[in-house]
Structure 1
């Protein structure tokens, strides 16, 4: 690397610009460090997972009194590598190989389990939620974990192990996704129940961005290893098949800070919301068709296994505009995301840092929602 004296002698009249660039690079380096700090403070610990697994195993034994052949799977962020210390846990109860009618049969099964849970001293507040995929919500008194239990929504098991494979294939994937989830939650755009983005959709958006860089950070694992992620694979084989997928060697050496700012820029000015569909399965943006799944939808994110739109909760224009605003309002010479962790630039062009990520998102040693 050229020394500063050489740069000064060659580009003396450009020195203020070079100093600003140097400060900007330092600022992005600081941001990368803050991202690592937040990730290490907030990532789910092995002890957290062990508590959830202990409850899952105990509940499976209880449920098998009603359904002897049933199996209970831990799914979602608790197992896919993108959970934080206080993540809720998703459970999928598989009672048969064939699909279950979610409107009637799943509700009936969950009502039986609800009655069972009323009799278990360590379970409190079992509540049946009737939705497109009905769930039984409850809390384990021992671990303090909130659980959502569904019946035969097996696509959730499949995508859990797909995302887990992405989390393990490249070391930058987990930190950037956890940080972006916290950023989105902080700005009120990470709550599907309120018409914004689910955490699953956010994860797919980040993976898509990492796949579509000129030098990709990650590939499409479904294209590279189709035998590991077949949508017709028997469900009991799903957790085992991806175990031997090797680490991906990317020629992209961008820092976490650079990738984060690139993610914001991609969805602010590159991705076409009204014309494209995000596809992690294909590792590219697909043209938006006029099919019922995509027609008149504000955000289109393809579920990697069943092809449905994971962003269907965003059905109001005001919510869509609020989501887009968090990307499009991030511009040079303006403060990034008011009061949060990203770098911003003063009007004199000198980069500064807002409070650290852990100061913004963590308190008392635990990661906030």
Structure 2
């Protein structure tokens, strides 16, 4: 699509319009395109105007909203739509001079700005350039500074920061902490103001402002520990943790920090941790041993940090650490402990009051400190909240992110993450891959072009804001947990290191959602690459250490064709299907000839009928005879009697097949006793056949087969994906009903539900909803019918959905992801409604909790059958092991290249 849009713009740039109305229509269309595709603005700006000077002259006042009487108001230069119309007018003026007479003064100033910033977009206008007072060369040519001027400015900046730092050091001479904090607040205001207009000093100014905050916090915490009440001492832990995070931020939010300042920051961190230990000791003197161990750990961390700084520690820092070490050594040797060496609250508070951190003397390298900051280019902060990002709950959604990262080192890029804050106060982190960074060392700049992954396990009733922010995810010195260190916004605060979006996850897509998506993506086709990018975003989020291994859509296409080839090779041949149908007819003739059954029928069902059958798959037959009740009594009243009646009818059939001329139809016939008695047969061709009996005219297996067959007719990918899932499930033990896994029918319904709800756009519509008003009886079922033979009025609007073009391989990965994150404890699958519902809903309590004594409440997995409502997932007992297999299979797709088909279907069983 971008290529087609660019081709159209190339044609417009060479076209000649008949009149100004044509030009207005074209301009309106281009502005609409600019609104939909803001990344195309450079190409749109460069599109028309140079060949249309006369037509532009006629609509200048309309394009620029100029008033013929009143003084025109200057338009903002950052308005992209105004810039588009302005460039059109200026390009027209470059070839048609009379246009310049209509331009107000501010347009002339904007012309010079555009000629300086983007000369490729705006042609020179001689009528303006040759005017003496507006000569482009004289007005806009930048004056190159000499080496002396550069050195002078550098020296002035250094002197300014040295004076500011000296002011901060002088605050320590004040006796009262309130006065010290007031002076620090004034210094912080000054340096923040300097940072806004002097970009060269923005980093060092922000660092000095952070020092002001750290020193003020140390003073405040010291006053609380030395003079506070017991309640204040008990609550100091939160303040200490917050200040520890601030110190961690300062240590990693700046580059080129002088060693003396790094040593001072380590001393402040050590001092604050000792304040927390002192407060703990004051509240609970019996915690002496525990506090001593904590102090020993902090001392070890502080000395390790000082050794890395490769500079001398302040005198107060050395004295404090030596004094603390004496008590630690005494605590290790109990024989030497006396009252003088026991570390009490009074002793430790005395040390802290005497040896508070002292800022180093003059630090000449402070002007070289640079702040690490980021600016988000896309999504645009002004338009991001106007569009709601919609997706299906439980599935990932990728969001394109373009950002500029300043003053970050290679080590920083290894820890860079995008932190996503959701409205429910949950946080997730996404790590870009190394190949998505474009380094420009000469400019201390890194450009990032990536896709962040959004996901929500639950649906929301309305859209809500989420926040994406660039952070460095770093480990804390003692704790194993990772702490996010946010990057700064731009020095001028014009660009931000974060952006807000609106998102709306839902369980299913409504008609309004469909119309909205059609309006946004009209004339666009969902490509395989787009479908795969969402999954790649999830992999990079879930497995960040594999960021160097890139998956490509060509490998997925190869896997897709391998799956299709396997399906075509193993699917039931037409000759085998005809042989099964012939055996069914022969069996019908035998029963009709040797019994007095009236109005009976033999219905095929199962995979042989649904187009999901494989070579040598068994044939499922059901003998339906409503009038057979006369052969046994109380069938409807007694379950045992019903079973005995079925046994009697099947015994008659067995006698016919073994003792009449029809014995040549089968090689063997035997009973299988169970809840439903079955007659297992092997035909003379070697085909296996199961025959069941019922007197109920409604045969759920028959209707299920009829429904699944027409789903296969709607989209062959349903049968192809089901075949792959069953083969994979058989190899891994997921398909093992006797061993606590799924049965074959349950896996089929899992695939059907996934194609209804687990992917957008849905692969399959809900046929039961489409034909909800129809009445279906066994005698009217025609397995040879196609949906094209059905009257169009039977279809509801819910079936008329946007086409899904995903490959079978892509659908398989999404299938794994969907059920690996599906919460079967809280939700159950409602096949008739094509949705998932909560188990505590009224529907679940009505349909399941009132069943027989076994019920559904004890089942790990609950899947509602399309017709009779029974639970095909009742066989599952080892759900955790099954989910482990889902996740292990997902790992195959991120462990390197896309796995081969043989690797997928030959995985080990979960119980091995």
TM-score, scaled relative to structure 1: 0.81
Deviation sequence 1:237-278 (CA, Å, 0-9, x none): 123687535897643221111110000111101x21112111
| 1:132 aligned residue (672, 675, 693) | 675
For the residue of structure 1 that corresponds to 2:872, the secondary structure is coil
Match of 1:327 among 886, 900, 910: 886
Matched residue, 1:200: 745
- Name the one with the larger helix percent: 2
For the structure 1 residues 123 and 194, does the alpha-carbon distance in structure 2 shift closer, same or farther, using more than 3 Å as the test? Answer: farther
Q: Over residues 121-176 of structure 1, what are the superposed CA-to-partner deviations in whole Å (9 max), with x where a residue is unaligned?
A: 231321111212221111001x2110111112711111110111111112321111
Alpha-carbon distance, 1:74 to partner = 1.1
Q: Tell me if structure 1 keeps the 8 A contact 2:619–2:689.
A: yes
Match for residue 657 of structure 2? Answer: 117
> For the residues of structure 2 that align with 1:20 and 1:175, how far apart are their CA atoms?
32
SS of the residue corresponding to residue 121 of structure 1 reads helix
> Computing the radius of gyration over CA atoms, which structure comes out larger, 1 or 2?
2
TM-score scaled by structure 2? 0.34
Q: Go from structure 1 to structure 2 and tell me whether the alpha carbon gap of 1:96 and 1:11 turns closer, same or farther (over 3 Å shift).
A: same
The count of corresponding residues between Structure 1 and Structure 2 is: 334
Alpha-carbon distance between aligned partners in 2 of 1:126 and 1:93, rounded to the nearest angstrom: 16
Q: 1:151 aligns with which of 676, 689, 693?
A: 693
Matched-pair contact (CA < 8 Å) for 1:215–1:251? yes
Aligned equivalent of 1:42? 570
What SS does the corresponding residue of 1:285 show, helix, strand or coil? Answer: strand
Q: Distance in 2 between matches of 1:55 and 1:12?
A: 68
In structure 2, distance between residues paired with 1:95 and 1:357? 48
194, 200, 209: which one pairs with 2:754?
209
Q: SS at the partner of 1:132?
A: coil
1:16 Cα deviation (Å)?
A: 12
Report deviation, 1:198: 1.7
User: Using the alignment, how far apart are the partners of 2:831 and 2:675 within structure 1?
Assistant: 24
Q: What is residue 254 of structure 1 aligned with on the other side?
A: 806
Write the distance in 2 (CA, Å) between the matches of 1:192 and 1:77: 17
The answer as to whether partners of 2:762 and 2:801 remain within 8 angstroms in 1 is no
Whole-Å separation in 1 of the counterparts to 2:829 and 2:646: 30
Aligned to 2:817: 265
Distance 2:906 2:711 in 1: 27
Structure-to-structure mapping, 1:40-189, within 5 angstroms: 40-64=568-592, 65-66=594-595, 67-96=597-626, 102-119=642-659, 120-141=663-684, 143-152=685-694, 154-189=699-734
- Write the distance in 2 (CA, Å) between the matches of 1:205 and 1:25: 26
- Name the CA distance, whole Å, in 1 between partners of 2:807 and 2:867: 31
| 1:221 to partner: Cα distance | 0.5
Checking the alignment, whether the CA contact within 8 Å between 1:118 and 1:124 is kept in structure 2 is no
When residues 248 and 194 of structure 1 are mapped into structure 2, their CA distance, relative to the original with a 3 A threshold, is farther
Separation of aligned partners in 2, 1:87 and 1:12: 56
Q: Work out whether 1:298 is the aligned partner of 2:860.
A: yes
Instruction: Say whether the 8 Å CA contact 1:34–1:358 is kept in structure 2.
Output: no
The farther-off stretch of 271-280 and 95-104 is 95-104
Secondary structure class of the residue paired with 2:689:
strand
1:151–1:295 distance in 2 versus 1, CA, 3 Å: same
Structure 1 position 11, deviation (Å): 6.5
SS of residue paired to 1:151:
strand
Is residue 761–residue 801 contact of structure 2 (8 Å, CA) maintained in 1? no
Q: 8 Å contact 1:74–1:90 — kept in the other structure? A: yes
Structure 1 counterpart SS, 2:889:
coil
Q: Can you list the C-alpha shifts for 1:275-304, whole angstroms capped at 9, x where unaligned? A: 211122111012223514420101111111
Q: Check the 8 A contact 1:129/1:137 in 2, yes or no.
A: yes
Q: Distance in 1 between matches of 2:740 and 2:765?
A: 30
RMSD of equivalent CA atoms: 3.1
Give the conservation status (yes or no) of the 8 Å contact 1:92–1:150. Answer: yes
Highest relative contact order (Cα 8 Å, sep 6+), 1 or 2?
1
2:886 is aligned with 1:307: no
Paired residue secondary structure (1:330): helix
- What SS does the corresponding residue of 1:327 show, helix, strand or coil? helix
Equivalent runs, 1:357-368 vs 2, <5 Å:
none
Determine the C-alpha separation between the residues in 1 that align with 2:729 and 2:786.
29
SS in 2 for 1:351: coil
Query: Shift in Å at residue 68 of structure 1?
Result: 4.4
Contact 1:76 1:160 (C-alpha < 8 Å) held by counterparts: yes
8 A contact 2:766–2:833 mirrored in 1: yes
Distance 1:110 1:195 in 2: 30
Unpaired segments ≥5 residues, structure 1? 4-9, 337-343, 362-369
Matched, 1:278 2:806: no
Distance (whole Å) between structure 1 residues aligned to residue 575 and residue 817 of structure 2:
37
Alpha-carbon contact 1:73-1:157 (below 8 Å) kept:
yes
